[in-house]
Structure 1
Amino acid sequence: MHPFTLPESIQARVAARCGTPHPFARLDPRRTALVVVDLQNGFMRQDVAHAWCPMAEHVVPAVNRLAGALRRAGGAVYWIQNTFDARCETEWSIMQEMATPEARARRAAAMSEGTVGNQLWPGLDVQPADAVVRKYRYSAFIQGGSDLPDRLRARGLDTVLVTGTVTNVCCESSARDAMMLNFRTVMVSDGCAAVTDEEHRASLIHFYLQFGDVLTVDQCIAGFAPAEERAAA
């Protein structure tokens, strides 16, 4: 996984604004959703990927561990499936204009519904009670991206833990938009993967400074515990 530690100077700035360096260290798991972004063959299997992220495979055990802990504590798990369809050519035409014809063709071939690339990574611990949500933009929370916000609110979930790939694109854009829609939002530092350590680090720091919290898997799991158990620990 990416080496990452929040710089003390950055934590001090957040603490000065929030009164604590970790505003969401305490989590009510019954109101919390784990949102796993784009851990799919199209980003993780080099032979079918249109945008390969080698680090993504290495965060899967951490994501599975967090998913299991949250389920046991009463929370919910949502697997986000980046999907290309005809609407992406018209309703999101700017993105198409920013790619070469070859890049557009690779994305369509890798991420269209029914393709191997569109499938979730086989090493993920997807359980029958979990939800799989198709996403048609970088962000799972922006209008036109998916129906995830409505699904979360329907279940009384107001806190999201963001994991997946890549940290600085679909994960960060989803996390920022979640906060803008009034969800308590955490980016899980060892549950996200980027193409480089530098991109991963910059993304987490930028998000943490203004939009939400950055915690490790262990910190999230510790935050699920009742207050008296945290005090004893």
Structure 2
Amino acid sequence: MSDWKTAFRSFYYEKADPPEDIELPPEETALLVIDIQNTYLETDDDPDEARRWKPFRERLTGKVIPNTRKLIDLCRDKGVEVIYARIACLKQDGRDRSLSQKKPGFNYLLMPKDREDSLIVPDLAPEDDDIVVLKTTDSALTGTNLRLILHNMGIRHVIAAGLFTDQCVSSTVRSLADESFDVVVVEDCCAAATDELHRNELTTINMIYCHVVQLEDIPGFLGS
């Protein structure tokens, strides 16, 4: 098992007592897979940009996607609801996007809902009865009816995985925590553009908005 009780400690919590053991009753728990979409598998045509993003894509294909596949299978086996969130606009021209996705730069995202690049990567594709929420915001909670869905299904605990740790994952986790959902973030099922950004954000949100854990920890939380 990992040292999740002492890992990713920020200044605020470096002297805090270890947290209590985590229990995730399957009937009250959902796995939320955030934004692991085809667009992030694409390699930039600019060789310099392709090299710059190579470490991210290596982590995505070599760790995040395979580990998230294992996490999904584990959750299904234990009766945990699997829910997906993906960035996708309803209008072809993206008029319905939030301002953050209209600004120029990396976060400019124009992905109509039925276009291939907006879909969940094939290795993690949702099953027919899975809930998939579409968002044009960073937070999957504030930009969709996910809050209502979770409440209607009696969900109190959320396991979070996905992209990007310091953007949509963090925004979603903070929103969930503000709504009093108990959240665990699976570190080795997430990625940011760089390892430094990834680790810094997890250190910031750990123990305030969530507990940061490893994939290997999850079975014990689910009672296996």
Letter of the 1:216 counterpart: Q
Which whole-Å deviations, capped at 9, do the CAs of 1:184-217 have from their partners, x for residues lacking one?
0111101101111001101111010411111111
1:29 aligns to 2:38 (yes or no): no
Following the alignment from structure 2 to structure 1, what is the Cα–Cα distance between the partners of residues 8 and 175? 26
Gap change, CA 1:15 and 1:76, over 3 Å in 2: farther
2:32–2:161 contact (8 Å) kept in structure 1: yes
Shift in Å at residue 136 of structure 1? Answer: 1.8
Q: CA deviation at 1:125?
A: 4.9
1:91–1:165 distance in 2 versus 1, CA, 3 Å: closer
| Contact 1:38/1:82 (<8 A) preserved | yes
Moved more, 171-180 or 87-96: 87-96
CA separation of 1:198/1:5 partners in 2, compared to 1, >3 Å: closer, same or farther? farther
Structure 2's unaligned 5+ residue stretches are 46-52
Q: How does the TM-score come out when normalised to structure 1?
A: 0.78
Residue 79 to residue 156, structure 1, CA distance change in 2 (3 Å): same
Task: Tell me which residue corresponds to 1:84.
Answer: 89
Residue 62 in structure 1 maps to residue 60 in structure 2: no
* Structure 1 unmatched runs, 5+: 227-233
Deviations 1:97-121 (A, max 9, x none): x425x974xx22xx11221111110
For 1:21-80, what per-residue CA distance to the aligned partner results, in whole angstroms no more than 9, with x for missing partners?
3x46221121111000001112223369xxx75132231111111111112212100111
Q: Hey, what's the Cα distance between the residues in 2 that align with 1:136 and 1:196?
A: 23
User: How far off its partner does 1:122 sit?
Assistant: 0.8
Is residue 152 from structure 1 mapped to residue 150 from structure 2 by the alignment?
yes
Helix, strand or coil: the match of 1:77?
strand
Q: CA deviation at 1:7?
A: 6.0
The match for 2:43 among 27, 41, 46 is 46
Q: Deviation at 1:93?
A: 2.9
8 Å Cα contact 2:202/2:212 also seen in 1: yes
The structural deviation recorded for 1:180 is 0.4
Aligned length: 211
**What's the offset of the Cα at 1:129?**
3.2
> Where does residue 182 of structure 1 map in the other structure?
180
Q: Name the structure where helix makes up a greater proportion of residues.
A: 1
Given that 2:60 and 2:191 are in contact with CA atoms closer than 8 Å, whether structure 1 keeps it comes out as yes
- For the pair 1:126 / 2:130, whether they are aligned, the reply is no
Give identity over the alignment, percent. 24
Distance 1:215 1:201 in 2: 12
Query: Residue 36 of structure 1: SS of its match in structure 2?
Result: strand
CA distance in 1, matches of 2:24, 2:169: 20
Change (3 A) 1:177 1:75: same
The whole-number CA distance in structure 2 between the counterparts of 1:93 and 1:195 is: 21
Shift of 1:84: 2.5
Hey, what does 1:162 align to over in structure 2? 160
Determine if contact 1:41/1:117 at 8 Å carries over to the other structure: yes
CA contact (8 A) 1:56 1:194 kept: no
Amino acid at match of 2:24: L
Amino acid corresponding to residue 127 of structure 1 in structure 2: E
* Aligned-partner residue type, residue 67 of structure 1: I
The 8 Å contact of residues 100 and 137 in structure 2, kept in 1 or not, is answered as no
Q: Does 1:212 align with 2:218?
A: no
**Distance of 1:9 and 1:216 partners within structure 2:** 12
8 A Cα contact 2:4 2:212, kept in partner = no
